[in-house]
Structure 1
Amino acid sequence: MKRLRVMTHLPCLLLALAMAGCAAHQPLGAMMSPADVPATLRNLAPARLLLLGEQHDADAHQALERATVAHLAHSGRLTALVLEMAARGTHTRGLATDATEADVRSRLAWDDAGWPWTRYGPVVMTAVRAGVPVLGGNLPRNEMRAAMADASLDARLTPQALARQRDNIRDGHCGLLPASQLTPMARIQIARDLSMAQTMAQAASASGVVVLVAGTEHVRRSVGVPAHWSARDHADSWVVVMHSGPPDANARLGVDRLWITPATAPQDHCAELRRRWGKPPAP
């Protein structure tokens, strides 16, 4: 939350409407466990690009990711694992399948404070042990300031999708950010999605599947990584969002499948953010 050819707004909008129309005829979602993954993935084929959108603090989501990577690797279909959790340019290519976790973390420049290794290590090491490269996809931190000032990023999304990005920034920061920061922060999100889109496209092959693990908003078709793809990449992809507990209507926006897991314990993230930022409690 740490150049491909761009479609014009009209084709993007038409594609988004088509995807929404397909989704309207699909079931809202299904309860998923790791044991359900092999059969479910058979229904997703063929696809060169598989996006898994997670709730970062839901253990069940990382378990599903690990099961997905293990199944695709075992069947010889996994080309690469791309992560939001590591910066573009980092990778495990050339590492032996018996590399230590310390070696892997070093190659990925892993930030344990932001992304606890205890949570993501299992899925990463599953790919490494199978000889599948793990690729950082996120925007490097030293490129974020330039992204904030890059007004050309605004035109990469439709006006509706750009507004959603701003809303996500506002809501994700509990309304604590000044309005003047919403657009620059949204540009960082767009740049991050573009970076992951490029990484996936570069890793794609005709005979395998590239898997992306990222937060849910990063994978939605109209606003996230797929917004920066060609029409062919859209056609050769599946977007899966994992959702904890009963989904609302917004959960299915811009996705092909919902994988539902048991609800997690409620947490007041805004209270924690206010504490860290020294802001008063909400009225």
Structure 2
Amino acid sequence: MRENRVYLSVVAIVLSFLLVLSALATERVWQAPELQKHPLTGTIYDLRTQAFITSDDLQEFLKRSDYVLIGEKHDNPDHHQLEQEIISASMAETAGSVVFEMLSEDQQGLIKQLQPTDSPEVLKDKLKWNERSWPWADYGKLIHATLRHGGKVISGNLSTVTLQHLYKTSDKQRFTKEQQETINHIDHTVKEALLEQIYQGHCRMTEKDRLSGMLTIQLARDAMMAWQMANSPHKPVVLVAGATHSRKDLGVPLHLKQLTKNSSTITTLLLVEVQESLSQPQDYVTQDQADYIWFTPKQVSVDYCANFKRSHA
């Protein structure tokens, strides 16, 4: 009997060791260096049910949506890795489409030349990629994954010429009737909230009444992305954009709901960096802003305002 107990103990130890090794082997390797051990790092929170879920659960929920909006922090490499996983999973059963904030309308003709067999380097050349604005290392893999799974790549942004025109004149005549209508129906409180974000983004160094052109551009870009999503015949449609663009209470969803007449399922996932002083999911995002949060480590902090102020001193 004693020998049996010893044998069983040894087996239990070996199994426990194997389980630990298995867990370590499947543990995600994060790239952003700060707060990797934060208790929320890597967790996914369902704001509708107020519960944590697994990545498999999330993928199943996203597959049920006609439109999935992913809100990222542009300089966090983990956000791009998660986006690649989401795109690959969403295209596994049905090849849909992905709208990229990083591609402008004047690149749509170039997009038509892309082939699923093209290497990332060939794709970059064909798109005449703007490396200064959007590092190819961040977004090339997403475009490549979309095409490799049979999906369609769609531009989401306005051209530089249109943006410059809007900034100077606030003239919306370059838009379709539907795009103009979605902008006109955005509530005043939403515009005030967006203006405050733009003001903070300019380090509070420019008076708000001088930022009206930037507000026009923000609304116009949201309207454009929503229009591209609503008019894609290839479902599901995924949007890759900055967090504010993807927010339910401020961005593209407000325009998309108008264009789809609330007849489609629209889901927002925000990829959010953890903060040292915040330990509860509700401290970061509310249900009015998103449906799901996926928490990641924090990229190295850069004081953009300090740099901005030095350059304007």
User: SS at 1:115's partner residue?
Assistant: coil
- Which residue does the alignment assign to 1:67? 85
- Which residue does the alignment assign to 1:223? 250
Following the alignment from structure 1 to structure 2, what is the Cα–Cα distance between the partners of residues 190 and 107?
29
Maintained 8 Å contact 2:119/2:144 = no
* Residue 163 of structure 1, aligned match among 174, 192, 203: 192
Maintained 8 Å contact 2:120/2:141 = no
- Which residue does the alignment assign to 1:193? 222
Maintained 8 Å contact 1:29/1:259 = no
- Which residue does the alignment assign to 2:42? none
Q: Are 1:120 and 2:139 counterparts? A: yes
1:38-73 deviation per Cα after TM superposition (whole angstroms, max 9, x unaligned): 431102342111000001111111111000111122
- Which residue does the alignment assign to 1:257? 292
1:102-181 map, 5 Å = 102-148=121-167, 149-150=169-170, 155-181=184-210
1:83 partner amino acid? F
Post-superposition shift, 1:151? Answer: 6.6
- Over the aligned positions, Cα root-mean-square deviation in angstroms equals 2.4
- Which residue does the alignment assign to 1:272? 307
User: SS at 1:90's partner residue?
Assistant: helix
Q: Are 1:41 and 2:59 counterparts? A: yes
Q: Percent identity?
A: 25
* Residue 85 of structure 1, aligned match among 102, 110, 117: 102
Following the alignment from structure 1 to structure 2, what is the Cα–Cα distance between the partners of residues 214 and 24?
20
- Which residue does the alignment assign to 2:38? none
Following the alignment from structure 1 to structure 2, what is the Cα–Cα distance between the partners of residues 85 and 272?
24
CA 1:221–1:114 in 2, change beyond 3 Å: closer, same or farther? same
User: SS at 2:220's partner residue?
Assistant: helix
Maintained 8 Å contact 1:240/1:258 = yes
- Which residue does the alignment assign to 1:52? 70
Maintained 8 Å contact 1:90/1:136 = yes
Q: TM-score under structure 1 normalisation? A: 0.79
> Number of aligned pairs?
248
Following the alignment from structure 1 to structure 2, what is the Cα–Cα distance between the partners of residues 41 and 48?
13
Structure 2 unaligned regions, length at least 5:
1-45, 173-179
Following the alignment from structure 2 to structure 1, what is the Cα–Cα distance between the partners of residues 47 and 241?
24
User: SS at 2:82's partner residue?
Assistant: helix
Maintained 8 Å contact 1:89/1:137 = no
1:154-177 deviation per Cα after TM superposition (whole angstroms, max 9, x unaligned): 634201100011011101111122
Following the alignment from structure 2 to structure 1, what is the Cα–Cα distance between the partners of residues 220 and 49?
31
- Which residue does the alignment assign to 1:3? none
1:60 partner amino acid? D
Post-superposition shift, 1:25? Answer: 4.9
User: SS at 1:84's partner residue?
Assistant: strand
Structure 1 unaligned regions, length at least 5:
1-22, 31-35
CA 1:136–1:202 in 2, change beyond 3 Å: closer, same or farther? same
Post-superposition shift, 1:236? Answer: 1.4
Following the alignment from structure 1 to structure 2, what is the Cα–Cα distance between the partners of residues 94 and 233?
34
1:147 partner amino acid? L
Maintained 8 Å contact 1:48/1:204 = no
1:209 partner amino acid? P
Q: Which has the larger radius of gyration?
A: 2
Following the alignment from structure 2 to structure 1, what is the Cα–Cα distance between the partners of residues 250 and 228?
17
Maintained 8 Å contact 2:113/2:126 = no
1:229-283 deviation per Cα after TM superposition (whole angstroms, max 9, x unaligned): 22545741101111010456463342111111123332212112223x323xxxx
Following the alignment from structure 1 to structure 2, what is the Cα–Cα distance between the partners of residues 37 and 28?
13
CA 1:110–1:181 in 2, change beyond 3 Å: closer, same or farther? farther
